[in-house]
Amino acid sequence: MSKQYKTINDLPDWVKMITGGIAGSVAEAITIPIDTAKVRLQIQKPDANGKYRYHGLLHTTRQIYSDEGVLSLFKGLTAGIQRQLVFASIRIGLYEPTRDFFCGKDFKGDPPLSKKIYAGLATGGIGISIASPFDVIKVRFQVDGNLPVEQRRYKNLTDAYIKIYKQDGLHGFWRGVTPNIIRNAVINCAELATFDHIKESLIKTGLFHEGLTCHFASSACAGFIAAVVGQPVDLIKTRVMNQNVGVLTVVSNIIKNEGLSNLYNGFSANAGRIITWNICMFVTLGQVRLYALNNFYKSPE
């Protein structure tokens, strides 16, 4: 190998993409039960007495486990991992190259926050534009688990692909793509730009160095900010994908029947999921890239 590399930041772009997909998939597998609970909270509507079936993350998780069994908490996992292998590879793997592109090849020093924001928005929007079909299927599987077996729409992943195509054509796989692009561009920006910026700030204090503790603290902060910023769009996206209706219809129904405060319905579950996801993803990402560096790219001493 003619070129040697000193840190994980020096790894080739294609390695950053592969490790991003791996880290995203690991985080997806660990947090899918929380995501399933979040989706159930977001799509639920009050009964005739104005009462909701689910109340908070822990209650929803226990209720799903009690009523449907543990496997229902993992509905949509296969589609979720397919999504991460595509989406995370692009949004995480290409974030740093895109950030550096916006800074310019002659730029020296720490990239400004504005360039990090631009890179997060760009890679998040592009990534989910390609990976949106997997998101549609994942959401529908998670919702189907809430129905009696005989009323469920899909038998398995292949059946879902076939039925969606027959019913809606290729357009059906990009159902809700507009709010999905907005949601993932915003959340990707909040996650990656915030993580990047907080990590740099922590290291500058002299109390942290590039490593597990710094990554854990930075990812937890980034996850919370992403949850607050992205929650309303996330709820709209989930309902559009599940109900086969437009964005304006969903927003109008929420305002008319539930109130704007309901845009944060399921926030505890969403925040819990995003914070946990970020910690799992960034910690895994750092370790996988470190392994790749030490075993395949590290310059000899």
pLDDT at 1: 45
CB 154 within 8 A of CB 144: yes
Question: Residue 83 has which token pair?
Answer: 């999504």
Region for residue 176 given its phi and psi (left: phi exceeds 0; alpha: psi -120 to 50; beta: otherwise) = left
> Which of 93-102, 195-204, 243-252, 275-284 is the least confident region?
243-252
- DSSP code, position 5: B
| CATH code, 8-297 | 1.50.40.10
What pTM was computed for the model?
0.81
CA distance 188 to 124: 5
Bridge partner residues of 66 (DSSP): none
pLDDT tens digits, 227-251: 898 888 878 877 887 776 778 888 8
CB 279 within 8 A of CB 216: yes
pLDDT tens digits, 44-92: 877 777 788 888 788 888 998 998 889 889 988 988 899 899 999 999 9
Task: Break the chain into its structural domains and give their ranges.
Answer: 8-297
With pLDDT > 90 as the criterion, what percentage of the chain qualifies?
A: 39
pLDDT at 2: 47
CA distance 130 to 125: 9
Which one-letter amino acid corresponds to residue 227?
A: A
Alpha helices in the chain (DSSP H): 13-43, 56-68, 77-91, 95-103, 113-144, 157-168, 177-188, 194-204, 212-243, 247-253, 267-292
Which comes out higher in pLDDT, residue 120 or 258? 120
pLDDT at 192: 94
Confidence of residue 4 (pLDDT cuts 50, 70, 90): low
